[in-house]
């Protein structure tokens, strides 16, 4: 069972209650909550919430370890298979649509790696910056370019690596795959809120994170030796506060940019999940229809 939705929509609270009612546990599907030492800025479930319902795939790698959808699937499938062998339904919760799609539909094999091309691209990125390479990607692969943020260095590098090595955009390879394999039968739930309500929640949660010590969390990560250029340190919030700590922007500006970019990210998440017709949508403020719908679907499954 999948529970998805944009950041700050209210997935955690509903997931805890749904897991309690089903007598099951939660499998994380958030690409940032897999990292150790990154708790506040990723809105990771609190220690108390993790005591209420066991969670899996939280804090499984350090910020300087490579992690992607393939590694996520490799770690998640054994966990899910253990649930299935015991006759229990795992509850996969998160906002990273690619991880959920890869888990349920398989990974696009894409083109083989081209190490020489990758090295050239990394040199270009160091010299020209990720924004310039993102502009190039938008020209050669506009479909993927629209989906990727200019700071998403790793995915930009991979997309340009594929294009330069094969002459075909990565979106072409993905279209050939089309995620047509169904690895797990699933119940897919997505939560939504009115846009203004969601944006207000994002703005408010950003300030709550700051009050909880988000800046100190980033400061501690830098003190531990994790470079600002690392993929997770370039994610929402972390890159903005790294800029503040380096003196490139003041704190109020950094917070405002976190809020703005998080709102934009939430919009992209909504677009992603709406592209999957298997998701059934529910308003986050009214959980009872979710519980009734899940109960009905499980009853239909048992009857079948």
Q: Binding site for substrate: what residues are annotated?
A: 7-12
Q: Which helix (H) or strand (E) holds 83?
A: helix 69-85
Four-residue CA torsion sign, 290, 293, 298, 301: negative
Dihedral sign of CA atoms 277, 149, 6, 188 in order: positive
Beta pairing partners, 112: none
The helix (H) or strand (E) run that includes residue 93 is: strand 91-93
Nearest to 105 by CA among 264, 278, 302, 271: 278
DSSP labels, 35-76: BTT--TTTTPPPHHHHHHS-EESSS-B-TTS---HHHHHHHH
The CA-based dihedral angle spanning residues 77, 81, 83, 89, taken in that order and rounded to the nearest 10 degrees = 80
Please give the annotated binding residues for ATP, written as ranges: 5-12
Q: How far apart are CA 136 and CA 129, in angstroms?
A: 11
Which H or E element spans position 212?
Answer: helix 195-212
Residue 299 C-alpha from the chain's centroid: 31
- CA dist., res. 80 & res. 103, Å (int): 10
Stated as kind and residue range, the H or E segment containing 55 is strand 55-56
Helix, strand, coil shares of the chain as percentages rounded to 5? Answer: 60, 5, 35
Residues tagged in the binding site annotation: 5-12
Backbone angles phi, psi at 45, to 5 degrees: -55, 140
d(C-alpha 204, C-alpha 303), whole Å: 45
Cα Rg of the chain, angstroms:
20
């Amino acid at each position: 069972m999948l529970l998805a939705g944009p950041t700050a929509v209210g997935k955690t609270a509903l997931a805890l209650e749904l897991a309690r009612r089903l007598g099951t546990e939660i499998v994380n599907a958030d690409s940032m909550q897999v990292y150790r030492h990154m708790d506040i800025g990723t809105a990771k479930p609190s220690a108390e919430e993790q005591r209420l319902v066991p969670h899996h795939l939280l804090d499984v790698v350090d910020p300087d370890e490579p992690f992607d959808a393939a590694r996520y699937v490799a770690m998640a499938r054994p966990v899910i298979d253990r649930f299935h062998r015991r006759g229990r339904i795992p509850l996969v919760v998160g906002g990273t649509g690619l991880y959920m799609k890869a888990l349920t539909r398989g990974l696009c094999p894409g083109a083989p790696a081209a190490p020489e091309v990758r090295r050239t691209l990394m040199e270009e990125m160091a010299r020209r910056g990720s924004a310039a390479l993102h502009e190039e990607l938008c020209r050669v692969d506009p479909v993927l370019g629209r989906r990727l943020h200019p700071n998403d260095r790793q995915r930009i590098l991979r997309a340009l690596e594929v294009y330069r090595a094969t002459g075909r955009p990565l979106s072409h390879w993905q279209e050939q795959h089309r995620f047509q394999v169904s690895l797990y039968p699933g119940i897919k739930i997505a939560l939504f809120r009115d846009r203004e309500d969601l944006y207000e929640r994002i703005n408010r949660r950003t300030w709550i994170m700051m009050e909880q010590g988000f800046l100190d969390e980033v400061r501690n990560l830098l003190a531990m030796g994790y470079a600002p250029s690392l993929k997770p340190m370039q994610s929402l919030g972390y890159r903005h506060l790294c800029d503040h700590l380096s003196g490139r922007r003041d704190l109020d500006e950094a917070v405002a940019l976190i809020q703005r970019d998080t709102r934009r990210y939430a919009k992209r998440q909504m677009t992603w999940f709406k592209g999957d017709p298997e998701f059934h949508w529910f308003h986050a403020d009214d959980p009872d229809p979710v519980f009734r719908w899940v109960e009905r679907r499980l009853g239909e499954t048992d009857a079948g």
